[in-house]
Structures are given as structure tokens and as C-alpha cells.
Structure 1
Amino acid sequence: MKFSSPLPDALAENASFLTPQEQTQLWHAAILMADSRGGVMRLTALFGRQVDAIKNRVFQTGERLGGAVWVDFVQSAQEAVEDTLWRSYSLATFGLEAVPQMLRPRQPRNNPMHRLATMASGVASGFVGLPGVVFDIPFTTATILRSIAEVARDNGEDLAAEETRRACLEVLALGGPSRADDETETGYWATRIGVNHLTVTLLIRGAAGRFGLVLSDKLLAQAVPVAGAVAGGALNYAFTDYYQTMARVHFCLRALERRTGDPAALSACFTQMVSAARNRRRFGRRPTAGMTILLPR
């Protein structure tokens, strides 16, 4: 993604401990976070009535079952995600480190093939309705995890390191693409603090809970055979793009933290920048053309 919005002078002064290049990197990461959920939220609103209608049917299936059906469905989605996260990290990172340095992109990219792959999965599973969930959940989860790992590698992370594995899982544990998580920068730092001392088992369980809940609403939208293919494909594409964007923000900040050695000051500056970027968005100043994020190595 390219940007034309310059860093406001007041924010540059507050970030004086950073080099001009690092200030630009942080500002562009703030713009990415501020704008990250626009497309997802529009699609969620578009398919929201379909999701609500299916939820109502679930709750009306009978006094004995009632809401338990929905609770069981959400729990099943979370368990499927958790199982996939346990099994798929090695598969998700397979071959990424083998790519020679000279052939790797200079800047982290949002791999369009991952978005197209999950979109195809959503379309295919949507044609058959809820039975397609059995295939779509693990495939979508593993593909998004691989996309996150690719962003990590492009930012100079060692994919074989346990710390990198944890960092990739943290992306899935971040605030989801919903209006309830609109203050994403607050949720971002809270999540990082909260998972800092968790075991991998608890981290995977937490990531599966957040990400599984995101997928459960999406999968309800594709519960109606054939018609659900449109919802499944569009939402899979949008969700993959969202988590790719969050990965670019996450690993940009990790790289800057390593460079500056001052996470607290970086956190304060980033929160201010996201607030300013959100105000820019409200006034209709969207990113168009300009510089790309140049992430530190």
C-alpha cells in the first residue's frame, strides 16, 4: 500500500528519539492500523442481516436446544482453529526461509495469492453450506498463518525461533475486525502485555478463542448453500487482507523496538499517531500515492 499523508510536525516532535526514516515507518504503520478494518466492516454490514437471520433460526430451534446450538457452534470453530494452530506452524513456514535473500522482496508485501486462496476456499465451502466448514476453517487458518509468517520473514524475523512463532500467534490474538474493537491500538498493546508471559499452550488457546469467534460469524454468513459462496469468498478475502495488514503493523513495531530499545516511548508515539491517522480518515483523507513502508532490517 502507498501513502501520501505526511507526518504532522507535532507528532514528529514527539517522536524525536526516532530517525526521520523510523518516524515515517511508524506513521505509515499507524495509517495501516487506522484503516485496517474498513473493507471488512463494510462486508460485515453487507452480510450482517444474513448472519443475524441464521442466528435467530438457531436460537429458535427449540426450548431444549436454544442458544446451546450457537454456543456449541462457536466452541467447535474455536477448537478447530486451536487444533490447526498446534499442527500447522511448521507447515505454514515450510520453504519460506529457503528463499535466497536476494530473491526476497525489499519490503513486506500483502501476498495476493493467500487472499485468493482463502477466497476460493470460502466460495467452495459456501456452495455446500455449513458442511463446508469442516474444510474451510483449517485451510483458512493455516493460509492466514502462513501469510503472517511470510510478513515476519520479510521483516528479518527468524522463523525457526520460538519468539517468532509466538509473535505470529499474537497477530491472531489481536483485536478483531469489528466495531467493538475500534480502538485497536489500545487492544494491541494490551494483548502484547497480556500474552508476554503466557505459555505457548495458553497463547494458542487465546488466539484460537479470538480468531475462532471471528470465523464463526463469517461461517454463519456462508451457511446457506450457493448464496453463501458469495459471502464466504468475500469475507475470507477481506479477513485475510486484514490479518496481513495487522502482521505488517506488528512486525514493523517489533523491528522498531529492536532498533530503538525503548518500547514504552514507541508505544506512546504510536498511540498518538493512530489517533491522528483515524482523524485523517474521518475527514476523508485517504491514502493514495506516495511512499511505501520501508521496514528496518
Structure 2
Amino acid sequence: MEPIPFAVSGLTAEDLATLALAKRALETQPLTMKLAAAVGAPIERLMTRLPALAQDTIADATRRALDKTLQAAVATLGAPYLTGSEGTSAPGAAENAKPRDWLHKVAVATTGAAGGAFGLLALPAELPVTTTLMFRSICDIARSEGEDLRAAEARLQCLAVFGMGRSAKDEETDLGYFIARGALAQAISKASSELASKGVAAHGAPALVRLMNTIAARFSAQVSEQVAAKSIPAIGAVLGAVVNTVFIDHFQQTAHGHFAVRRLERRYGADAVQAAYRAVESTST
């Protein structure tokens, strides 16, 4: 990867390096490939093993998981969101407390181990727990990049990460980060306005429902890939933990990239950062 001239981007060398890492996290190797490497089998082939009712089960479990996560986020709106670290979500604390990715990985691996022996049957019980743990990790990463998690918009940005992780379908359609983010931007803006004005009472508001539907559609595709990886006969606790670890790592990397980009946009402006981001893409090898 060639360096991007400072005069072209306006970003410092350090921030350009940060942007290059964010680009790599956001645009490379979708979840399908990571899971295939972890279980040693093509996910496309494993998808065909899922029973006919699997997609309905996955869609319902995904929606319930996201809904419980949203309820947890809204219930504490206006206060720092606890992430398991000792830091606060207030601006200025980010530089002093790194996110504890490993702690959340251990927790999610535990849920994977518990559900590994039951496959699809365990999904309705396991997915809400796993998703909530991943959301806490995403919030922890957002805080470390300077997001104020007392604000509704910041928490919805954390929730939106579930709709940004790359899947096999993104490879087919060449759906990049800014395209996926742009598809969510207006819905996030309207939903955050409703949350800011109505608080908990906004939970069923139309703008929030539309946002949840958009996120759920994309997240469900990736949950399907995760479930397919767990469809190997006698997967057991060990491989169940491995699959869940890959799953959370995928969204942690997406969160690191997303909130690093947002931090740079606050510093340099969206246009400058997007221009530099495109330059990173055009000079990658």
C-alpha cells in the first residue's frame, strides 16, 4: 500500500495510517470467509444443510435479539453506557481507556460453547445474549474513539454496526462501507431525533422501526452464516466457542473501523476523510 500524500488528503501521517487500518477492517474478508477458515468447510455448502424453517427461525431470533439490545440502550439513555470497563463514556475519557475486546470475546465464546451442542434449537435463547454482549463491546470501542454514549445518535451508531459487517452478499454486490453507511444514515438521523425527544416512549416510533428493519435485514444474513457454521454434526462446545469468537471479532473489527472514521471526520470533516479513504482504496495492492 503506497502512502497518500499529505497535501492531497490534509490528514497527518498518523491519521492516514489510522484510516488505512480502518479501511482494511471495513472492506476486507467478509464473515463467510472467516467462518469457513475457522470450521474448515465452505459456508455455502453448510447453508444447504439448514432445515427449511431455519430462515424464519433466524429472522425471528435476529429481530428479538436486536429489539432486546435496543431496549437496553434506550433504558439508560442520558447516562454513560456501562461496558464492563472502568472508564466513562464521556468525551475525553477515550484516550485513557482502551476497549477490552478480549473480555467480550471470552463472554461470547462462553455462550457459543453453551449452545454448541444444540445448534439451531439454541438460537432463540443464545442470540439475544450474544448480541447484547457484542453491543456492549461495540459501545466500548465507540467510547474509546471519543463517542459520547449519553447521546441517542451515538448509541444508534453502535446498533448500526450490526448492519455494516460484510457478508457474502456484499462481495457479490460490491457493497462498500460508505454505501452501507449511507443507506442507514437518514434512518439513524430520524430515529435519534425521536429518541432524543421522547426517550423510552420512542421505542415503537416509526423512524426507529424502519431503522431496526434495515439493520435486521443485514444482520440476519450474517447470523445465517454463523448458524450454518454451527450446522456441522456434533459441533460441540469447542467449535461453538470458536464460531462465536469469529462472529464477535468480525463486528469488533467493523466497529473499530467505523468509529475511527467518525473520529477523523470530527477532526477533518467528512469530505476530507472520504476523499482520503477513496485514495487508500485506489492505492491498495
Task: Name the TM-score, length of structure 1 as normaliser.
Answer: 0.74
Question: How many residues are aligned here?
Answer: 258
| Distance (Å, rounded) in 1 between the aligned partners of 2:6 and 2:174 | 20
Structure 1 residues 265, 50: closer, same or farther in 2, change over 3 A? same
Does the alignment pair 1:52 with 2:52? no
Cα root mean square deviation, aligned: 3.2
Counterpart position of 1:289: none
Does the alignment pair 1:21 with 2:29? no
Does the alignment pair 1:81 with 2:74? no
1:113 Cα offset (Å): 1.4
| Distance (Å, rounded) in 2 between the aligned partners of 1:70 and 1:275 | 40
Amino acid in the other structure paired with 1:190: I
Residue among 218, 235, 249 paired with 1:227: 235
Does the alignment pair 1:208 with 2:216? yes
1:47 Cα offset (Å): 5.8
| Distance (Å, rounded) in 1 between the aligned partners of 2:273 and 2:161 | 18
Kindly provide the CA deviation profile for residues 137-184 of structure 1, in whole angstroms up to 9, marking residues without a partner as x. 0011101111000011111111110110121122111143x3432489
Structure 1 residues 117, 96: closer, same or farther in 2, change over 3 A? closer
1:126 Cα offset (Å): 1.2
The 3-state SS of whatever aligns with 1:196 is: helix
Counterpart position of 1:99: 87
Matches within 5 A, 1:101-180: 106=96, 108-109=98-99, 111-176=101-166, 178-180=167-169
1:213 Cα offset (Å): 2.3
Q: Is the 8 A contact 1:166 1:200 kept in 2?
A: no
Counterpart position of 1:187: 176
Matches within 5 A, 1:257-296: 257-261=265-269, 263-277=270-284, 279=285
Does the alignment pair 1:8 with 2:15? no
1:18 Cα offset (Å): 1.5
Q: Is the 8 A contact 1:129 1:226 kept in 2?
A: no
Residue among 227, 230, 245 paired with 1:237: 245
Amino acid in the other structure paired with 1:196: A
| Distance (Å, rounded) in 2 between the aligned partners of 1:35 and 1:14 | 27
Kindly provide the CA deviation profile for residues 38-77 of structure 1, in whole angstroms up to 9, marking residues without a partner as x. 634523662637723523xx2xxxxxxxx4x234223223
Structure 1 residues 209, 49: closer, same or farther in 2, change over 3 A? closer
Share of identical aligned residues, percent?
26
Structure 1 residues 195, 46: closer, same or farther in 2, change over 3 A? same
Kindly provide the CA deviation profile for residues 182-223 of structure 1, in whole angstroms up to 9, marking residues without a partner as x. 489953111222222213322222212211221133224334
Structure 1 residues 190, 49: closer, same or farther in 2, change over 3 A? closer
Structure 1 residues 195, 48: closer, same or farther in 2, change over 3 A? closer
| Distance (Å, rounded) in 2 between the aligned partners of 1:183 and 1:144 | 26
Kindly provide the CA deviation profile for residues 203-252 of structure 1, in whole angstroms up to 9, marking residues without a partner as x. 22221221122113322433467425344322210111111111111111
Does the alignment pair 1:247 with 2:244? no
Counterpart position of 2:190: none
- Structure 1, gaps ≥5 residues long: 1-6, 59-66, 280-297
| Distance (Å, rounded) in 2 between the aligned partners of 1:98 and 1:121 | 23
- Structure 2, gaps ≥5 residues long: 188-206
Moved more, 140-149 or 128-137: 128-137
The 3-state SS of whatever aligns with 2:41 is: helix
| Distance (Å, rounded) in 1 between the aligned partners of 2:85 and 2:242 | 31
Kindly provide the CA deviation profile for residues 98-154 of structure 1, in whole angstroms up to 9, marking residues without a partner as x. 626898664744611111211111111112333321221001110111100001111
The 3-state SS of whatever aligns with 1:127 is: coil
Counterpart position of 1:283: none
Structure 1 residues 148, 184: closer, same or farther in 2, change over 3 A? farther
